Every structure is written in C-alpha cells, then in structure tokens.
Structure 1
C-alpha cells in the first residue's frame, strides 16, 4: 500500500470509533470526493492521505466503480491515477446541452498517424519518422503535437548529430484515456493476428475492435487506440 503523506490536522484517518461498514463508507466518500474535485487524475499517494492505514485502496476503488455501474459517468484509471469521466455514449448530449468538449484538440489523419507512430516507437527522431513514412515529417506536424501537449523532447539520439527524440507525455495518456503506455495496443500481436501492418498503417487503417469481432476473434477486442475526441471529465 502506498505510503501516506502527512495530512491536515483534525482529519481522523483511522475512524476507529466507527463500525467497520460505516468506516468503509466514509473512506469511500472521501476518496471519491477527492477524485471528483480534482481537475487531473489523482494518484494513489494522494488518495492514501485521506484513509486509514488498514484501508485497501484497490478494494475500495473497486467498490466505488461497482456503485457507478449504470450511471452516466465512471471511475477510470488514467495517466497513473484515477479520474471521473462521463461515458462516451453521453458525449453528444453534453455538447448539445452545454457546449462542453467542443474545443478539444482535433488532429488530421496524417497528424494522428505520426502521433500513433511516436506512441509505439518512442523515443524516435523526426528523421526516423521520415524513414518510417517514406517522406520527411515537417516541423509543423511536430509543432502541432507539441502545442497540444501530446509529445515532448526526449533524450538525444546516439546517431550522428545527436538529434532530439520525441516521446509522448502524461497529457497524451490523459487525453486518450490510457493509464500507462502498456495500455497501447500490442503492435507485434496486431501484426501476428493480421490486423495491422506497416502498409495498413501508412494507408490510414487503424486497428479496430469491430474488425476483430467480424473475424470471429475476441482476443484483440481491446487493442485499439482511439484518436478521436476524449471522453469528457467531470471537471471539463
């Protein structure tokens, strides 16, 4: 369990005077309130600051998620933390009623392909990207992805001239609803399954779960990277 940081004086963490069931409910309420109030994903260390030493955060978070089944929003693991997000099916209703989410970054297909390639093969230089796509990747494309905060400069390449490499950022994970880079589709598995190849990638064909379903396989159902608009968070 994550080590707890000092908390503000007056907050009773252990709640020893409460019966176990009420203590658990209070901890659930605290954790959900902290996540709800935060504009960014909340990590385990921050959540551990508001519960007792004997609290199992994993089980507590599972209980919170179970209670949200059937609600228009859910608790998701993203960018190494936890965040409330409205479900995709309600995005159009939210935009229609409030206009929220209409200013989210919009990438062209070519920009999305470059971002996808950086995600899979980082750290990667602009020259290496050019070799992959068979043409030079303009500085403007890199600039767009950097302005959106999706990529940043990585370590210098050991190749002649020591050019900068590019890597994805925490904002990339947050925007696309990924907890870590391990949640990216497995490129080798996609290729082995015949769902993705370099030619298909360059042609703009992304790995889609529905393609797999049509072929009668469930193994790759979650191997998809959605490069459209993100799901709205509670604080958007």
Structure 2
C-alpha cells in the first residue's frame, strides 16, 4: 500500500503523511527501508529528499530521461552564485550576498531565484534599514535531491569536483549550511503587506 501511495503521489510524502493513510500499527518506517533496499538495484530508486520519500530514476539511468524533461530556464552565472551563497550562508541579506560575491547583486537576480521557488524571503534583519533575509526552500532540496542543506558538498567534495582550487589557503573554510525554519535571534518576521518589499535601494550590477 505504501508503494502504491508513493507511486500515485506527484510530490514526495513525509513519514507522517504516509502514517495517516495506512492502517494503525503499521511499521511505516520499516516498510520504507525495506522498499528502499528492494528498489536499490533497479532503474527506479526510493529516496529521501527534504525529509520526505519519493521514487526517482536511478542516477546512472537519469540521462535516458533527458528528452522527456521539460527544459527549464537556464540561470545566469550571477544567479547561480547567488543561489550558492544563500544555500551555504542562510539566512543572508542582499548586502551580505554582495559582500561575499564582491559585486553588486540586482533585485532581478533575486526575483529570478524566487520564481524558481528554490529560495524564499525568511524575515528581516534587526539592523538599520531592516533588510530582507533569504533562505532556501523545500523545493530546493527536492530539485537537488537533498535530505537537508547539510548534505551540500563540503570543502573536500568541492575540490574533488574541480569546483575549488586544490591549492586554496589552509584557512579557507566552507560554512556549514543551516536551513532551520525558525527565525534567528537577529531576524524579525515579515510584516503582512511587505512580503515583496526588498531593501530600499537597488544597486546597479549583476
């Protein structure tokens, strides 16, 4: 029954959602783990993303599905850099993103990322101007096949993938990501009606 529920759902299902749809006393987690082992050598795998469960094409066969996937809008380099900074440094403001990138970041870049539903406005920083803070979403985790942002690659993995120079300074650190939904001590909630109000000034740039 759990197998059928997962195949029939267009979205990943949480343990709680599955538990509500099966008879009482069902060992849902045990059945999920058994299904995961059963499907491990097959072309479709049972995986856990964003703390939820779903079936996905096995990674070694995903290229076969390329023609059937609707081509998505390609993100600019500025948008990809901004997305990476938000993922690793969240909660982060636009000014903080610009400080890390070393160049200005246009509101249009953030708007594009908001349209993908991979990032969200979290709250407002308790600093002058009360800038908006940004973080990633559940859709970000689902799209990139992550259970949490803590599964993002670390320093050694980034080096191994050729995304970082192997000769980076010894003091260089990759931050430990945290996507806690609770606001941090220096964040206030977004007020009703100000959801789309970004920082007062929009610097020109990328």
Which residue is equivalent to 1:64? 35
Q: Which of 112, 132, 152 matches 1:184?
A: 152
Q: Any stretches of 5+ residues in structure 2 without a counterpart? A: 167-206
1:90-143 deviation digits (Å, cap 9, x = unpaired): 223223xxx321323432333212101101111111111001111111111111
Give the whole-Å Cα distance in 2 for the aligned partners of 1:208 and 1:56.
Answer: 41
Q: Which of 112, 121, 124 matches 1:156?
A: 124
Q: Any stretches of 5+ residues in structure 1 without a counterpart? A: 1-29, 196-205, 216-236
Which residue is equivalent to 1:19? none
Find the structure with the greater CA-based Rg. Answer: 1
Q: Which of 108, 130, 140 matches 1:140?
A: 108
Which residue is equivalent to 2:82? 114
Q: 1:209 to 1:39 in 2, by over 3 A?
A: farther
1:69 to partner: Cα distance: 2.4
Which residue is equivalent to 1:102? 70
Contact 1:153 1:167 in 2 (8 A): yes
2:49 aligned with 1:49: no
What is the TM-score when the length of structure 2 is the normalising length?
0.72
Q: Secondary structure at the match of 2:42?
A: coil
Contact 2:86 2:92 in 1 (8 A): yes
User: What's the C-alpha RMSD, in Å, of the aligned pairs?
Assistant: 2.0
Which residue is equivalent to 2:96? 128
What is the TM-score when the length of structure 1 is the normalising length?
0.63
Deviant stretches of 4+, over 6 Å: none
Give the whole-Å Cα distance in 1 for the aligned partners of 2:73 and 2:14.
Answer: 25
- Give the structure with the higher percent helix: 1
Contact 2:40 2:46 in 1 (8 A): no
